[in-house]
Amino acid sequence: MTFLWHDWAGYIGVVLVLLAFLLLQAHKLHGNGLVYQLMNVLGALGVALSLVFGVASMNWPAFLMMVAWIVIGIYGILHSARARRELREAGSKFTP
């Protein structure tokens, strides 16, 4: 069996998503942390690429789930970055 780039993208994507979930459950990552969010976004992107380029007929439900996963992950990254920035700015306002 020959693996093409989209096959590798899909397998690596699955590993990233599952590893992120495992590390979250093992309390090695935080759910609102950048590493966890990036692992999910990149993993979902890999799976989505494998769905788009790797199958003869599109699996729309799986593809839509991956798109939602990516969008939610990006939202989490932006939300966490904004919260960290606001916390940093609030800390600098109250420094004596």
Question: Which residues make Cβ contacts (< 8 Å) with residue 76, sequence separation at least 6?
Answer: 32, 37
The model's pTM is 0.86
Angle subtended at Cα 13 by Cα 41 and Cα 7, rounded to the nearest 5 degrees: 140
Classify 28 as helix, strand or coil: coil
Number of domains observed in the structure of the chain: 1
pLDDT tens per residue across span 29-41: 999 899 999 999 9
Tokens of 44: 């979902």
Q: Which of 65-69, 87-91, 92-96 has the lowest mean pLDDT?
A: 92-96
* pLDDT (0 to 100) of residue 47: 96
Residue 39, classified by CB atoms within 10 Å of its CB into exposed (0-12), middle (13-18) or buried (19+), is: buried
> What domain range includes position 40?
7-93
| Cα–Cα dist 32/81, whole Å | 10
Tell me whether residue 53 is in a domain. yes
pLDDT tens per residue across span 48-67: 999 999 877 889 999 999 99
| b/e burial code for range 47-78 (CB count within 10 A of at least 16 → b) | bbbbbeeeeeeeeeeebeebeebbeebeebbe
Tell me whether residue 1 is in a domain. no
Tell me whether residue 2 is in a domain. no
* pLDDT (0 to 100) of residue 96: 54
